[in-house]
Structure 1
Amino acid sequence: MNRTSNRFVRFILVVILTLVAVVAVYPLAYMLLSSMKTSIEFIRNPIAWPKTFYFDNFQALYYRFSLLRLFGNTLVSVGGALILSLVLSVPAAFAFAKLRFRFKNSLYMTMIGMMTVPGITFILPNFLLMSRLGWVNHFASVIVIWGVTSIPGNVFLLRALLHSLPNEILEAVRIDGAGYLQVLLRVVVPLSLPGLATVSIFNATAWWNDLLTPLVYLQSDEMKTMTVAVATILGRFSSDYPLLLTGLLMTALPPVLIYILLQGYIRKGLVIGAIK
């Protein structure tokens, strides 16, 4: 009886997971098939299989809309923000996890409390600040906004990981004469790679999909990221649905590939901090 019930439960779980997988994969499959149609073919039957594989939409995206430049803008913005975020988050998380200083808990709770404040609340003051600094329509504005606003979430995740590091290892390194920076670079960072990879993946995919921040601060077409370009530049060709879906497909693929290729780091980074 127990075996029968267990098989039934497994069957239900498989059916549910299969449905979830179909719902998740269907948009990508639809965009891929639609990107290989002409506009006339798409209008006649949007859900039909392509009669012939039409790759001119990818060529148009590459030549007419400077696909490499859009990817380059996005990579520069995301890469710069990621470096800034880790440079600021790792020392802060280590300090809250291992160091003793006054108002430590109060500062930590204040930082974590900032995670509950909607980011849109700071758009106007941040824009005025970036305008006075002369960073509007410059990558520095997006890099600073993304990098700084990610610190509370990074510290929240990394503090649990760093708190589980044995104090004996840190004390042994200090006895050998290592300073604060050497402890960070030689011990903390190597032992925290799964956690660093996890926060990096979460942040990079969120920034890649972000529309509001680059839309506000990067105003010229030459500075736009992939997501903004799809929403604005390609939006001028709203009647050419296959071209729009091709742009959406090219924008959606990198985050999906990142999660597929690096999912092991995500699982390890989320679990390692809970195990001592």
Structure 2
Amino acid sequence: MRGARISRWLIAVPMALLALATIYPLVFTANAAMKTRRDYILDRFSLADSLRWDNIVTAWTSAGTARYFVNSVIVVAGAVALLLLLGSMAGFALSHFRFRGSKALLLGCLAALFVPFQVIMVPLVRTMADTGLVDTYPGLILAYVAQFLPFTIYLMASYYSTIPSEIVDAARIDGNSTYGVYRRIMLPMGRPALLSVGVLNALFCWNDVLIALLMMPSAEHRTLMVGVTSLRGQYSADIPTFASGVLIAAVPVLTIYLFFQRRIADAVTAGSTKG
């Protein structure tokens, strides 16, 4: 009994410290965003006297965060929609069709997960520049799809492989074509996986800085994370306004995580299922 109690403490204490190290920067940022510049300079670690929204309004309007926010929403929505469409189709094909090279393709998707973006960064940007897609929404959407599609295909194939092939055979006997099986059987049954993978891809795309920085060089088309990063130099003497921009960028991510944390956990463990 004593040993079990000690074991629980050995797990609880490091987890509590890890949670504190994660939560404290968020609390510090939110507290700094509520201070005036003078209050922050005098004592950056003290609690704000009251809730002041002036810095957040300034970051949203004067600093251009509103435009960056809209850019991110457009790009993330387009990339996630295309990733789910292509990933679900490819996952269905690789999990329920046996053709020459199907296993090699699935292993190729798995191997692509281990290729850092820095390896393909230069040829990707050159290809996009040659096709006139740099500094455009479609260009950044396609770059995100190229980067995160192997992950999406692998997870969808892992999930679809748990669906018995007898269901697919029965649907074909009923007269469904391959597309009919995908639309009437696989899409409805794959909703839990689609939601999980969609949430993860949305977080990946929303939090990205490197790809967006390369693909969207102009200030007009910057995504939110790139825009907030640029605020560090623009408002280096006004940390509360910069903290407000960081807070605006973090709120959507925290909201998604709080509402879909179970789905995120399911997506992370999906690769361990039968496949």
Q: TM-score range by the shorter chain?
A: over 0.9
Q: 2-side partners of 1:147 and 1:227: how far apart?
A: 18
Partners of 2:229 and 2:29 lie apart in 1 by: 16
Matches within 5 A, 1:115-264: 115-264=113-262
Counterpart residue type for residue 235 of structure 2 = F
For 2:11 and 2:106, how far apart are their aligned partners in 1? 40
Deviations 1:156-210 (A, max 9, x none): 2121111110111111111111111111111111111121122111111111111
The one-letter amino acid of 1:15's match is V
Bigger mean CA deviation after superposition, 6-15 or 226-235: 6-15
Structure 1 CA distance for aligned equivalents of residues 13 and 144 of structure 2: 39
Q: TM-score if structure 2 supplies the norm length?
A: 0.93
| Aligned counterparts, 1:102-117, within 5 A | 102-117=100-115
The answer for unaligned runs of 5 or more in structure 1 is: none
Contact 2:171 2:181 in 1 (8 A): yes
Which residue of 80, 86, 92 maps to 1:88? 86
- % identical equivalent positions: 28
3-state SS of paired residue (2:91): helix
Quote the offset at 1:75 in angstroms.
Answer: 0.7
Give how far 1:110 is off: 2.3
The normalised TM-score by structure 1 is: 0.93
Query: Residue 59 of structure 2 contacts residue 242 of structure 2 at CA under 8 Å; is this kept in 1?
Result: no
Residue in 1 that maps onto 2:273: 274
C-alpha contact (below 8 Å) 2:29/2:243 kept by paired residues = yes
- Counterpart code for 1:26: Y
Q: In the alignment, which residue of structure 1 is the partner of 2:16?
A: 18
| Matched-pair contact (CA < 8 Å) for 2:161–2:274 | no
Contact 1:194–1:266 (CA under 8 A) maintained in structure 2: no
1:44-69 deviation line (CA, Å, top 9, x unaligned): 11111112332210110122023332
CA displacement 1:250-273 (0-9 Å, x = unmatched): 112211221110112223445567
Give the match's secondary structure for 1:150: helix
Match of 1:64 in 2: 62
> How far does the alpha carbon of each residue in 1:79-129 deviate from its partner, in whole angstroms, 9 at most, with x for none?
111111111111111111110101222222223222222111222221122
Counterpart of 1:202, as a letter, is L
Aligned in 2, Cα 1:110/1:170: closer, same or farther, shift over 3 Å? same
The C-alpha deviation readout for 1:27-50, integer Å capped at 9, x for no partner, is 111100000111111111111111
SS at match of 2:146: helix
2:8 and 2:109 map into 1 onto residues whose CA distance is: 43
Measured in 1, the distance between the counterparts of 2:168 and 2:17 equals 48
Distance, in Å, in 1 between the alignment partners of 2:105 and 2:150 is 11
Unaligned runs of 5+ in 2: none
Following superposition of structure 1 onto structure 2, how do residues 39-50 of structure 1 map, counting pairs within 5 Å?
39-50=37-48
Supply the distance in 1 between the matched residues of 2:4 and 2:86 (Cα, whole angstroms): 49
Corresponding residue of 2:32: 34
Q: 1:268 to 1:125 in 2, by over 3 A?
A: closer
